[in-house]
């Protein structure tokens, strides 16, 4: 857990400065105000926590993720926490480039279907072909609703929790980054209402991740924790990339 939290601070500073993330551990609050409720939104008193998975394997992958995060904040989604960054092998269609994956925890007053609509608009603006692209093929940006509060949603165009999250290590690893020890002690994350909080869903996800090996899975082929440095992607955890000494004195 210590490695995860330390790495998250580095990732936020190096990868997503445009979001002005600030905080400690894996928890960050953006200084970019979420857009006001649209005409499609629910009453302002009805907020729910959401967990959204992000993936990209076309173009500049880091820029795609950064742009996606900024767009989320402009679509009535306030970001609360951002996971570490992972480079992963494609799961269903192997003949394509590796993905960069992450996950975010936020809250919104959009309903599940309204949220899905906004995510599809963000994907479309990023250049994703929503009509003719090959299923599980390359994409500049993929945004999936993993959890929406403690709710189970079944609709012809949307299932929440996401139907495949339990089969995807590239989703479970970032999900584990989003849970902090204080959440369990407090009994909620940001939304205390039992139906609005994703805490129960996250606890289930983290427990499954740990049962399957947890941190031991990171660094195995197809799942690497990484850090973007300029045009390079550095793998974290296996070798020393930077070594230095910092001295701080009162004067």
Catalytic hit among 61, 139, 168, 225: 139
Region for 145 from its dihedrals, namely left if φ exceeds 0, alpha if ψ lies in -120 to 50, beta otherwise: beta
167 flagged as catalytic? no
134 flagged as catalytic? no
Catalytic hit among 4, 61, 81, 128: 128
DSSP sequence for 91-119: SS--SSPPEEEEEEEEEESS-HHHHHHHH
128 flagged as catalytic? yes
User: Tokens 């869903």 belong to which residue?
Assistant: 201
Catalytic hit among 67, 109, 142, 183: 142
By CB atoms closer than 10 A (0-12, 13-18, 19+), residue 225 is buried
Angle at 160 between CA 206 and CA 188, to 5 degrees: 50
67 flagged as catalytic? no
By CB atoms closer than 10 A (0-12, 13-18, 19+), residue 37 is middle
* Active site positions, annotated: 128, 139, 142, 144
């Amino acid at each position: 857990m210590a490695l995860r939290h330390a790495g998250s601070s580095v990732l936020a500073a190096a990868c997503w400065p445009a979001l002005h993330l600030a905080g400690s551990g894996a928890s960050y609050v953006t200084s970019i105000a979420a857009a006001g409720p649209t005409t499609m939104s629910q009453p302002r008193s009805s907020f729910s926590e959401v967990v959204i998975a992000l993936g990209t394997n076309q173009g500049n992958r880091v820029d795609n993720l950064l742009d996606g995060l900024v767009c989320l904040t402009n679509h009535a989604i306030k970001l609360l926490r951002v996971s570490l960054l992972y480079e992963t092998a494609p799961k269903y269609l192997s003949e394509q480039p590796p993905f960069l994956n992450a996950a975010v925890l936020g809250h919104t007053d959009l309903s599940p279907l309204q949220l899905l609509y906004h995510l599809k608009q963000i994907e479309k603006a990023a250049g994703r072909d929503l009509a003719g692209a090959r299923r599980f093929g390359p994409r500049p940006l993929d945004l999936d609703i993993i959890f929406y509060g403690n709710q189970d949603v079944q609709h012809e165009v949307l299932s929440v929790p996401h139907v495949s999250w339990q089969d995807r290590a590239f989703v479970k690893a970032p999900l584990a980054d989003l849970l902090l020890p204080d959440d369990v002690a407090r009994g909620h994350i940001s939304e205390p209402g039992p139906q609005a909080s994703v805490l129960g869903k996250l606890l289930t996800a983290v427990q499954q991740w740990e049962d399957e090996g947890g941190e031991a899975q990171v660094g195995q082929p197809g799942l690497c924790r990484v850090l973007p440095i300029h045009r390079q992607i550095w793998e974290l955890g296996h070798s020393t990339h930077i070594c230095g000494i910092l001295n701080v004195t009162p004067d």
